[in-house]
Structure 1
Amino acid sequence: MLNTKAGRRMQTKTIGFIGTGVMGKSMARNLMKAGFQLNVFTRTKEKAEDLLAEGALWKESAAALSMESDIIITIVGYPSDVEEVYLGESGILANAKRGSYVIDMTTSSPELAKLIFDRAKEAGIHAYDAPVSGGDVGARNAALTIMAGGEEETFEGIRPVLEAMGKNIVLQGTAGAGQHTKMCNQIAIASGMLGVCEAIFYAEKAGLDPKTVLKSIEAGAAGSWSLSNLAPRMIDGNFDPGFYVKHFIKDMKIAIESAENMGVPVPGLKLAKELYELFSQSGGENKGTQALYQYYEIMSQAD
Structure 2
Amino acid sequence: MASHCDERRRNRNMNIGFIGTGVMGKSMAGHLMAAGHRLFVYTRTKAKAAELLERGADWRDSPAELAEDCEVVISIVGYPSDVEAIYLGDGGIVEHANPGAYLIDMTTSSPSLARRIHAAAAARGVHALDAPVSGGDVGAREARLSIMVGGDRAAFEAMRPIFAAMGKNIVLQGGPGAGQHTKMSNQIAIASGMMGVCESLAYAKKAGLDPSVVLQSIESGAAGSWSLSNLGPRIIAGNFEPGFYVKHFIKDMKIALDSADEMGLELPGLALARTLYERLSDAGFAEKGTQALYKLFED
TM-score (norm 1): 0.95
Q: Partners of 1:116 and 1:274 in 2: how far apart?
A: 31
The aligned counterpart of 1:217 is: 218
Most deviating of 147-156 and 119-128: 147-156
Q: Partners of 1:222 and 1:8 in 2: how far apart?
A: 44
State percent identity of aligned pairs: 64
The aligned counterpart of 2:268 is: 267
One-letter amino acid matched to 2:288: K
Deviation per residue, 1:177-228 (Å, 9 max, x gap)? 0000000000000000000000001111111111111011000000000000
Q: Partners of 1:241 and 1:208 in 2: how far apart?
A: 27
Matched, 1:198 2:189: no
Matches for 1:50-129 after TM superposition, within 5 Å: 50-129=51-130
Q: Partners of 1:193 and 1:163 in 2: how far apart?
A: 28
Give the 3-state SS of the residue equivalent to 2:128 in structure 1.
strand
The aligned counterpart of 1:177 is: 178
Q: Partners of 1:150 and 1:291 in 2: how far apart?
A: 35
Matches for 1:116-155 after TM superposition, within 5 Å: 116-155=117-156
- Alpha-carbon distance, 1:9 to partner: 3.9
The aligned counterpart of 1:251 is: 252
The aligned counterpart of 1:301 is: none
Deviation per residue, 1:99-125 (Å, 9 max, x gap)? 000000000000000000000000100
Aligned pair in 2 of structure 1 residues 6, 167: CA closer, same or farther (>3 Å)? farther
Q: Partners of 2:106 and 2:9 in 1: how far apart?
A: 23
Q: Partners of 1:141 and 1:297 in 2: how far apart?
A: 31
Deviation per residue, 1:48-99 (Å, 9 max, x gap)? 0110001111011100000000000000000000000000121100101010
- Alpha-carbon distance, 1:155 to partner: 1.4
Give the 3-state SS of the residue equivalent to 1:230 in structure 2.
helix
Aligned pair in 2 of structure 1 residues 165, 7: CA closer, same or farther (>3 Å)? farther
Give the 3-state SS of the residue equivalent to 1:219 in structure 2.
coil
The aligned counterpart of 1:13 is: 14
Does the 8 A contact of 2:235 with 2:294 survive in 1?
Answer: yes
One-letter amino acid matched to 2:143: A
- Alpha-carbon distance, 1:153 to partner: 2.1
Does the 8 A contact of 2:9 with 2:158 survive in 1?
Answer: no
Q: Partners of 2:146 and 2:102 in 1: how far apart?
A: 20
The aligned counterpart of 2:3 is: none
Matches for 1:161-176 after TM superposition, within 5 Å: 161-176=162-177
One-letter amino acid matched to 1:94: E
One-letter amino acid matched to 1:19: G
TM-score (norm 2): 0.97
Give the 3-state SS of the residue equivalent to 2:95 in structure 1.
coil
Give the 3-state SS of the residue equivalent to 2:239 in structure 1.
coil
Q: Partners of 2:191 and 2:206 in 1: how far apart?
A: 23
The aligned counterpart of 1:286 is: 287
The aligned counterpart of 1:226 is: 227
- Alpha-carbon distance, 1:265 to partner: 1.0
Does the 8 A contact of 1:7 with 1:160 survive in 2?
Answer: no
Q: Partners of 1:265 and 1:107 in 2: how far apart?
A: 21
CA RMSD of aligned residues (A): 1.1
Q: Partners of 1:9 and 1:110 in 2: how far apart?
A: 28
Does the 8 A contact of 1:10 with 1:161 survive in 2?
Answer: no
Does the 8 A contact of 1:6 with 1:160 survive in 2?
Answer: no
Q: Partners of 1:67 and 1:272 in 2: how far apart?
A: 42
The count of corresponding residues between Structure 1 and Structure 2 is 294
Deviation per residue, 1:253-274 (Å, 9 max, x gap)? 0000000100111000000000
Runs of 4+ off more than 2 Å: 5-12
Does the 8 A contact of 2:246 with 2:281 survive in 1?
Answer: yes
